[in-house]
Amino acid sequence: MASMKLTCLSCGQVNRVAPDRLSAKPKCGTCGASLMPGKAVEVDFATLQKAARTDDVPLVVDFWAPWCGPCRMMAPEFSKAASELRGDARLVKLNTEAHPKAGSAYGIRGIPTMARFKGGREAARKSGAMPAAQIVSWVKSA
């Protein structure tokens, strides 16, 4: 594969990146934001839809809400996992309270729920809070 498509999580622009450059901190050609940030990034519903449909790099989404205790407990673990998975996957968070259409569009029945997208399709799903090591293991095995 000559290049991989990555949707900028800040501006929504689709970028092409050489596979061997994924761990070299590539930046968006439009806004300059990091394409492989190494941290969990909050996204809106439109950006999630575009990235899930377009990206060649696995996209892991944490569907959460601010009032959810287990979601708040898992947040730092999800961020640690994002750092460990830098170059292999991108981890994003979507607030289902702020974006209720996302919950219904993706059939989210309980939170926290993580979904892994690859090649425009949902490849795996896992519900419940998990420690970083378990998140990393699940992402790599899915």
- For the chain, what are the domain ranges? 38-141
- Please provide the average confidence, as pLDDT, over all residues in the chain: 94
Whether this prediction's pTM lies above 0.95 is answered by no
| Sequence-distant (≥ 6) Cβ neighbours of residue 62 within 8 angstroms | 40, 71, 74, 78, 91, 92, 93, 94, 112, 113, 114
Place of tokens 């287990």: 70
Residue 71 catalytic?
A: yes
Q: Which tens digits make up the pLDDT trace of 76-87?
A: 999 999 999 988
28-71 per-position pLDDT tens digit: 999 999 999 989 999 999 999 999 999 999 999 999 999 999 99
Residue 68 is a catalytic residue: yes
Which is nearest to 142 in space by CA: 73, 59, 64, 42? Answer: 59
Q: Which residue has the tokens 């050489």?
A: 18
* 3 state DSSP class of 118: strand
Q: How confident is the model at residue 112 (pLDDT cuts 50, 70, 90)?
A: very high
Q: How confident is the model at residue 73 (pLDDT cuts 50, 70, 90)?
A: very high
Q: Please tell me which residue in 8, 28, 31, 68 is annotated as part of the active site.
A: 68
CB 111 within 8 A of CB 66: no
Which of 11, 28, 31, 71 is flagged as catalytic? Answer: 71
Q: Would you say 11 and 46 are in contact if contact means Cβ atoms under 8 Å apart?
A: no
d(CA 73, CA 104): 24
Domain 38-141 has what CATH class? alpha beta
